[in-house]
Amino acid sequence: MSVDAKQVSEYLLNLQDAICNALSSEDGNGFIEDAWQRDAGGGGRTRVLAEGGVFEKAGVNYSMVHGENLPASATAQRPELTGRSFRAMGVSLVIHPRNPYVPTSHANVRFFIAEKPGEAPVWWFGGGFDMTPYYGFDEDCIHWHRTAKTACEPFGAETYPRLKQWCDDYFHLKHRDEPRGIGGLFFDDLNQPDFEQSFALMRSVGDHYILAYLPIVQRRRGIEYGSREREFQLYRRGRYVEFNLVYDRGTLFGLQSGGRTESILMSLPPLAAWHYNYQPAPGTPEARLYERYLQPRNWAEMPTVDSDATPPGAKKDA
């Protein structure tokens, strides 16, 4: 099968629709759409659900940009791309829930192609999904990673462990020496064994995101919470901001390629907080997040656990 960018674009537009429909149905509120055009070439559909019943902010963005020259972020490690025109397309989403017991989640699937007359195109797929809990549940982590493993199974037994480790390595805040969350899947520069198989893996990852996330939302959205949980949620959201502005490749590529700033920064939470030298009190659910959940674990291979309404030691404010 030859490289077919149009087929990829059609899949991505349909994926955006499917994810927005599923999230809107769960929340009870709809997304607003902002269709935009990029002066240098291309455009997209930014969709945001704000101040919903379940999601404080949910952003699901489709973009397809093109240009005659690549930004420095793309050519720095790939000098063979210099002098090539490019097309980059993808769906990127971040869901910030209102209830601190519901984790934040992120997913992205994308395709890149660079072309030059008289030479073969350079292309690859990338993507993945990862989850960032504020209060951890073994049941949720196991479900998330088993669904991720299921997405990878048609592509060989080594695919899930490789993409899981890649995710753990990528979503690591070096300046904090801690992971952003419990991980999931991440891949980039995928063009082997061929276009058909690479495209199939990207589709499988995109199609499994809602299957991984929505059951967790449904289990946790009704748990009562108070000011303590909310304050901790805002503090941990600060880590999300730090990663996206300092390390995230998509953010850097978008800003350096003249992308639409409002859409690029859609991933940031509506509210976040920073506290100097914060340390959770020993024996609290907040401390347990660091001790159990912000540690690398093989969640997919852990035995199934019974559903638990609240984390151990949780106390509610009035």
Cα pseudo-dihedral 313, 233, 143, 287, rounded to 10: -40
**Range 122-160 burial, b when 16+ CB lie within 10 A, else e:** bbbbbbbbbbbbbbbbbbbbbbbbbbbbebbeebeeebb
Cα separation, 248 vs 146, in Å, equals 25
* Tokens of residue 69, six digits: 């020259």
Q: Please report, to the nearest 10 degrees, the dihedral formed by the alpha carbons of residues 210, 215, 216, 222 taken in order.
A: 130
For residues 57 and 184, give the distance between their C-alpha atoms in angstroms, rounded to a whole number. Answer: 21
The pair of three-digit structure tokens given for residue 299, joined into one six-digit string: 């969640």
Q: Which of 66, 96, 106, 208 is catalytic?
A: 106
From CA 130, how far away is CA 146, in angstroms rounded? 13
Nearest alpha carbon to residue 232 among 183, 188, 191, 288: 288
Q: Is 106 a catalytic residue?
A: yes
- Catalytic positions, written as ranges: 106
